[in-house]
Amino acid sequence: MRARDREILLKLNKEVLWLFVTGSVVVATLVVLFLLRTPPSYYEYNGFTLGTYCRIYVSSEKINSKSLAEMLFTELDRIYKKYNANDPESVLSKINVSQDWVDLDEETFVLLDAALKFSNMTEGAFDPTLGNLIHLWGFDRLDEQDVRVPDSSEIEVALLHTGYKNILLDRQKRRAKLLNGIHIDLGGIAKGYALDRVYQIAKEVDPDCTGFVEAGGDIRIIGPKFGSRPWVIGIRDPDDTNECVGYLYLDSGAVATSGDYERYFIVNGVRYHHILDPQTGYPARGIKSATVVASTAVTADALSTAAFVLGGKNWEYVVLDFPKSGGHVLLVDKDRNIRKSPSLSVYEADR
């Protein structure tokens, strides 16, 4: 009888051990599930750079969200200063004033190369060499006083000093030369590039960080909201600041919009906006806004400008052909018709 008692005791001890182990596991799991479930907190940083209003909205569990946001803003500002055509000290100005080959740093070379790639892709609808035209129209000036519509003869002269084919890139020696006195203006791509850079930096610092960065209506998603939900992006109604013509749900990638309401002046009841048609030298007509969703902000930024320019002439081409280059388009034309790529529907459904 004693032997059996001991046997039972031994058995009970084993059982108690088992209970303890499973009990602790269950309790630990519950603690993780119920108590440590604090939603990630986002830090919002607002600042003025890239010639516009920028908003950084990030959350990181690895480093302080605030310092991450500040780090990203510093990067935006660095790129703005480097490629600001109005600043005589900027890298871009040095290229613009030089009559000869200019040695480029790798970043600038890659950026120019990307810009030319989009110019070729869109057959010049996106053109980074409109510096002279933009200056003539006065869209490079911050003050919008004494604006005037240039004479057609002036525009014709300025058009002679534009054209992306006048940029020569020397791959071997990593240098560039501008022909025909053209001036580069990277306004249509620098924002996108800055946003993509910021994305890379954020992911290098913390691969799991989430949020988005916005620079003047162009948005680069860093990661899904709270790690799981898409961000809800409203497409602004061209005629009403507070209304939306549509919603997009993005958990990655980028979106950019070009609109005739961003920078413009009105003379004799005609609106002259800042998106110039490289062929005519006049503001592109027919479209009120062009929104492009793409996997990178550079693509979205460059293609939204191209979509705006081409959309007034041949919207079918823009809507159906741009997706092949990775840009999914939504156009609002002058009669408020909305034309969009069939592939855009992927981003319009709230998953």
Partner 1 sequence: MVNHSVRVMRTALLGAIGTAVYLIETLIPFPLPFGRWGLSNFTVLAAAIAFGTREAVSVALVKSLLGSIFTGTFLGPVFFMSFFGNLTAAFAQGVAWKLRIFGIFGVSLIGSVVNNMVQVTAGRLILGSSAIFALLPYMLVLGSFGAFANALIVKRVWSHASSSGIIFSTSSKNVENDSSRFQSSESQDRGR
Partner 2 sequence: MKRTGNLFRIWDIAILVVIFSTVAMFFCFHTYGEGSGYIEVSVNGEVVLKTSADGVYPVVVNGKRLLSVVKDGEKVRVEDSTCPLKICEKMGTVGPGGVIICVPNKVVVKFVHTNESVDVMTW
Tokens of 117: 């790639």
7 belongs to the binding site for partner 2 (CB under 8 A): no
Phi, psi of 108, rounded to the nearest 5 degrees: -65, -40
- CB within 8 A of 195, min separation 6: which ones? 76, 213, 215, 218, 219, 220, 254, 297, 301
For 247, the 3-state DSSP assignment is strand
Q: Which residue is listed with tokens 């209970």? A: 19
232 belongs to the binding site for partner 2 (CB under 8 A): yes
Say what the alpha-carbon torsion angle 69, 72, 73, 76 is, to the nearest 10 degrees.
-160
Residues 73 and 64: their CA atoms lie apart, in Å, by: 14
Per-residue interface string for the shown chain with partner 2, residues 247-286, x marking contact by CB under 8 A: xx------xxx-x-xx------------------------
- 4-33: which residues touch partner 1 (CB under 8 A)? 4, 8, 11-12, 15, 19, 22, 26, 30, 33
Kindly tell me which of 34 and 145 has the beta carbon lying closer to partner 1.
34
Q: Are 247 and 233 in contact (CB under 8 A)?
A: yes
Per-residue interface string for the shown chain with partner 2, residues 90-129, x marking contact by CB under 8 A: ----------------------------------------
The partner in contact with residue 3, picked from partner 1, partner 2, none with C-beta cut-offs of 5 to 8 angstroms by kind, is none
The partner residues of 167 in beta bridges, in order of sequence, read 178
Residues in the chain: 351
The identity of residue 159, as a single letter, is L
57 belongs to the binding site for partner 2 (CB under 8 A): yes
- Least Å distance between CB 8 and partner 1? 6
Among 72, 112, 178, 219, binds partner 2 (CB under 8 A): 219
Q: Name the site residues for partner 2 (rule: CB under 8 A).
A: 15, 18, 22, 29, 33, 37, 39, 55, 57, 212, 214, 216-219, 225-226, 228-229, 231-236, 244, 247-248, 255-257, 259, 261-262, 289, 291, 350
Q: Name the site residues for partner 1 (rule: CB under 8 A).
A: 4, 8, 11-12, 15, 19, 22, 26, 30, 33
